[in-house]
Chain A
Amino acid sequence: MASNHRALRFLTAGSVDDGKSTLIGRLLYDSQAILADQIDALERRAAGAPIDLSLLTDGLEAEREQGITIDVAFRYFATRSRKFIIADAPGHEQYTRNMVTAAAGSDAAVVLVDVTKLEWRARPVALLPQTRRHALLAQLLRVPSIVFAINKLDAVDDPGSAFAAVREALEAFAAEAGIEATAIVPVSALRGDNVTRSLDVPWYGGPSLLQVLEGLPAALERRDGLLALPVQYVARPHDGTGHASRVFWGRIAQGAVKAGDPVQVFPSNERATVVEVRRAGGTVDGSVAGESVGLVLDRQLDVSRGDWIAAPDTLRATQRFCATLAWLDNESATIGRKYLLRHGNRWVQGRIASIEHVLDIHTLVPGDAHQLATNEIGRVTIELQQPLPLQRYADNRVGGALIVVDPASHRTSGALLVEQAT
């Protein structure tokens, strides 16, 4: 199975009036993903004025009435070389939780910068706090590629100088923050300049936004080396011999597996050898991270959903760890309270033992705090009731991510990115 040909999922970060919805509408419109009747509806709404492309992406009634977008919406479009999924999240700090949701599982972030909101002739150019916040959030959440799109250059009288000045400010900010900016592109979402069609101007000879997106790598976990497979589903098929050999299905989190490999089960620590590797459709020689497989072992072992099958002596069980916690619930996080945590396919109980710091919502500078309120992000220590084979999120997103669920409301209250096992 080809590795880099799955759809590229990217999030778009920006405020309501930065032109983010227009940019998305433009991407969809230019790649001809909008169909005629939807255009008709837009024209009727516009009643003679130019079409408002941002309306293509507003969904729920409540939002339409308020004229803003809340929640994460998924849009699809494709070019000749690639399929794309846009995770569209609102930019206001009130909706940080939506950006966190959009970022989890995204391969890239497109951070929109509205040049008309900046004093670009000043030296130095001051970026808006929200631009810094979006970029820092994307970095904190380890989105693999961060692209800056400087928008509305059609509305300034010296776009070349404006672009150069803002780009310089972004580069300085990125250097200071330790962010690797994959690209900085000028666009006019309204006029369609440099979104899908290249710009023909003396002051910019680089790729269009779409060209940048087409070239980005899809995030992949390590495919070489040591196996780690979280067991998702245990099947008991009959193989015609009268024996029902169990098959342990799951998506490989890391590494590779083939028949003959020795493995060890977590948490029982039992050892066995892989006899057969199955994929939907039949037996295969081997499989790698990102693919779902069914393993047949040479021994009858008690393995359930939530267990892990891995290379021997590699998984380390942890019961206490340090993590970045993004709080998504309306009710603040309570230290010491029992929450339900999901890691891989296992649910365990856990609690927040302490809060090391909370990031300022505007600057993302760490500060002391004794609670984590909605939309806040902090560094915490978690204690688990049972040990888990955790990894750092930076090393593996399956081994390093957890969600926090409130046992009373069943709401998804938080997202944890493991920084280190203590």
Chain B
Amino acid sequence: MNARTSIEQLLPSLDQTHLDHLEEEAIFILREVAATFERPALLFSGGKDSCVVLRLAEKAFKQRNAQGHYEGKLPFPLLHVDTGHNFPEVIAFRDRRVAEMGERLVVGHLDDSIARGTVRLAHELESRNGHQTVALLEAIEEHRFDALIGGARRDEEKARAKERIFSHRDGFGQWQPKEQRPELWTLFNTRHRPGEHFRAFPISNWTELDVWLYIARENIPLPGLYYAHAREVIRRKGLLVPVTDVTPPQAGEAVETATVRFRTVGDMTCTCPVESVAANAVDVVAETLTVTVSERGATRMDDRTSDASMERRKKEGYF
């Protein structure tokens, strides 16, 4: 849920000082993770929220030199669960950023889980979003990660409104809604038994608008998909389905070329762009201020199935 006020009202006198406070809070949380866990990892998909968290991590742990670049290494690796169905542009972007920063990236491949038999698809083109959980938990077990830093926000979806900043996961990686610990002040209770782990969400209190304002302010690089580009799409049930190898047009459907941008990027089989001419972050801010459909509603085909689908996936350890 985002505040929607007109551009003329907000942009000329846009007071971004609240962003300073959000930034400070996020950096505080990131340092808390580094200080209290032995083997944390930062979930990095190349998506906009994880790009913001990555920049915040740089600010938290690195020194800025005279040229304005961040020096040094993060005290933990990056982690990505590759569903095998990610947009190639996003994977390329991910690899480029990691190489530029010289950080260590651990990738959990869903295809490996499928080969191992721990994940079984109903059919070849089934959406892989729901199966990420298994690959994620396997990566956690393999590397013995005790904390995962993610870019989830409370305003994204109802099931996240009650999520803690430090969210406990049991030995099966599961989220138990009735067992979540009350979170008071910044006295985080991160005590746990071996085999259990935590998820940390430093941008919990950020809204979609805050994220874009910060991207604009900090000039955070993003995959090009987030900005207007021409793409072949099919109009299906009010959504624009991108034409990909795993989402080909069905019989009788017309393919058109539209100018679109993605508001979220995920599995190609269930992520849709919206029509847009926003060419950069500032344009996106302007569009976000007048947007009428929530981020997940516009773009995630899987969320449409039910309100409770996110909650169910969280219980299974999805995120």
Contact = CB atoms under 8 A, between A and B. Distances in A.
Interface of A: 1-2, 5-7, 28, 31-38, 41, 57-62, 71-81, 83, 85, 97-98, 100-101, 104-105, 232-235, 237-238, 249, 251, 280-282, 290-292, 305, 328, 340, 342-343, 345, 397-398, 401-403, 405, 410-412, 415
Given A2-B17, A35-B2, A60-B162, A232 B185 contact: no
A33 B311 contact: no
B1 A76 contact: yes
Contacts of B293: 35-37
B187 to A, nearest CB: 5
17 contacts: A6-B21, A7-B22, A36-B292, A72-B162, A76-B1, A78-B3, A78-B209, A101-B182, A237-B72, A238-B72, A305-B35, A343-B187, A405-B191, A410-B181, A410-B193, A412-B182, A412-B184
Question: Which of A76, A281, A412, A415 counts the most chain B CB atoms within 10 A?
Answer: A76
B1 A71 contact: no
How big is the B interface, by class? Answer: 35 or more
Interface in B164-202: 177-178, 180-187, 189, 191-193
Given A60-B162, A76-B1, A403 B187 contact: yes
A35 B187 contact: no
Contacts of A85: 205
A104 B5 contact: no
B184 A58 contact: no
Nearest to A329: B182
B301 interface: no
B207 interface: yes
Contact of A397 (B21, B159, B185, B191): B185
Contacts of A249: 31
Contacts of B4: 32-33, 35
Contact of A32 (B3, B34, B161, B191): B3
A104 B185 contact: yes
Contact of A60 (B23, B159, B185, B192): B159
B101 interface: no
A74 B161 contact: yes
Contacts of A232: 28, 31-32, 35
A291 B161 CA distance: 26
B189 A7 contact: no
A233 to B, nearest CB: 4
B120 interface: no
Contacts of A280: 23, 27, 59-60
Contact of B307 (A41, A292, A345): A41
B163 to A, nearest CB: 9
B291 interface: yes
A110 B24 CA distance: 27
Nearest to A60: B177
Given A237-B63, A403-B189, A33 B205 contact: no
A282 B191 contact: no
Given A33-B1, A37-B294, A281-B59, A71 B31 contact: no
Contact of B3 (A36, A77, A237, A342): A77
B158 to A, nearest CB: 5
B20 to A, nearest CB: 5
A74 B162 contact: yes
A227 B158 CA distance: 41
Contacts of A98: 182
A232 B209 CA distance: 30
A74 B154 CA distance: 7
Interface in B14-42: 15, 17-18, 20-24, 27-28, 31-32, 34-35
B93 interface: no
Contact of B61 (A34, A75, A235, A291): A235
Interface string B290-302: 0111100110000
A7 B18 contact: yes
Contacts of A2: 17, 20
Given A76-B155, A282-B64, A403-B184, 6 more contacts: A38-B294, A59-B159, A74-B204, A79-B5, A85-B205, A101-B184
